[in-house]
Amino acid sequence: MRTCDCNERHDRRRIVLTGGPGAGKTAVLELIRQSFCAHVKVLPESAGIIFGGGFPRGEAIEFRESAQRAIFYVQRELENMADTENPAIVLCDRGTVDGAAYWPGGVGEFFSSLGTDLDKQIGRYHTTQSFIFERRPWMGGTIVAILCGLRQPSRRRQLTR
Kindly list the residues in this chain that would bind Zn ion in the complex (CB under 5 A): 4, 6, 37, 39
Decide whether 37 or 81 has the Cβ nearer to Zn ion.
37
Query: Cα–chain-centroid distance for residue 70?
Result: 13
| 143 Cβ contact partners less than 8 Å away, ≥ 6 residues apart | 101, 107, 136, 160
Least CB distance to Zn ion at residue 43 (A): 17
Least CB distance to Zn ion at residue 13 (A): 14
Residue nearest to Zn ion (CB): 4
CA end-to-end span of the chain, whole Å? 39
Least CB distance to Zn ion at residue 37 (A): 4
Least CB distance to Zn ion at residue 77 (A): 24
Decide whether 4 or 159 has the Cβ nearer to Zn ion.
4
Decide whether 87 or 95 has the Cβ nearer to Zn ion.
87
Q: For 71, left (φ over 0), alpha (ψ -120 to 50), or beta?
A: alpha
Decide whether 32 or 49 has the Cβ nearer to Zn ion.
32
Answer positive or negative: Cα dihedral of 138, 62, 119, 28.
Answer: negative
Q: For 60, left (φ over 0), alpha (ψ -120 to 50), or beta?
A: beta
